[in-house]
Amino acid sequence: MHSLSVILITKNEAANIRACLESVAWADEIIVVDSGSTDETVTICKELGATVQEHDWPGFGVQKNRALGYATKDWVLSLDADERVTPELRAEIETVLRNGSASVAYLVPRLSNYCGRFMRHSGWYPDLLPRLFKRGKARFSDDLVHERLIIEGDTKVLKGMLLHYAFDDLEEVLHKVNQYSSAGAAMMQRRGRKASLSGAVLRGLWSFMRTYVLRGGFLDGREGFMLAVSNAEGTYYRYLKLMLLNRKHK
């Protein structure tokens, strides 16, 4: 049977990390790269048998590649601290480890929770993500945010789901909107992108329409409307911040 490394990056994830690590306690090793947690994250990780490495924060892509660099097993499962591996997904992963595979990576469907509701529309489901891969056959892009897994070879799709507890409340939503819009604006500026106030407004409106209408967010009830609004805000602020960064740079 092939072996499995689980890799995560963390900062102040004490509220999530125990349930996450307990869902993969069966893995051969768990690697956590932490970037200066001031809560009990590191203590909990060590208590549950994870190997913890501490680093500065260079952005999501670079940090995940650091975690990947510490992995030593045949296969790698990349998780976020607010995710949980279901028993069904565990069984499928163990089948891959036991039988081997001609594919080098697997996409995993993810069901995400937004302010207490699992979202089955709004573009959030099934949210297929490449998470299981052979070590040495994939790496993460170096993007500050919204990093991609670059895979060398064929992929297949698993049926078992990841559960994703994305946002517990609106305070967390607003924090992430600010954090991700700043990182996204910085990344776009590095790529030479331009933005204007009117463009930021139009992109925000389009983001709302795409989430709520085209992707069926209205079927997710009031949370679907809330998500569409927060997506619009994130898009609007990302391009507005890009406009201001470019002005400051000039």
Pairing of strands 83-85, 105-108: unpaired
Cβ neighbours, 10 Å, residue 155: 16
For residue 3, is pLDDT > 80?
yes
Report the C-alpha gap between 32 and 16 in whole angstroms. 13
For residue 250, is pLDDT > 80?
no
Instruction: Give the tens place of pLDDT for each residue, 78-114.
Output: 999 999 999 999 999 999 999 989 899 999 999 999 9
Q: What is the pTM of this model?
A: 0.92
Instruction: Give the tens place of pLDDT for each residue, 30-44.
Output: 999 999 999 999 999
pLDDT confidence of residue 98? 96
Q: Estimate the share of the chain in helix, then strand, then coil, as percent rounded to the nearest 5.
A: 45, 25, 30
Q: What is the mean pLDDT of residues 190-211?
A: 97
pLDDT confidence of residue 249? 85
Of the pLDDT bands very low, low, confident and very high (cuts 50, 70, 90), residue 2 is very high
pLDDT confidence of residue 54? 97
Instruction: Give the tens place of pLDDT for each residue, 114-157.
Output: 999 999 999 999 999 999 999 999 999 999 999 999 999 999 99
Determine the distance from the C-alpha atom of residue 89 to the mean position of all C-alpha atoms in its chain, rounded to a whole number.
Answer: 17
Q: Are residues 114 and 124 in contact, defined by beta-carbon separation less than 8 angstroms?
A: yes
pLDDT confidence of residue 241? 98
3-state secondary structure of 36: coil
pLDDT confidence of residue 71? 98
pLDDT confidence of residue 204? 98
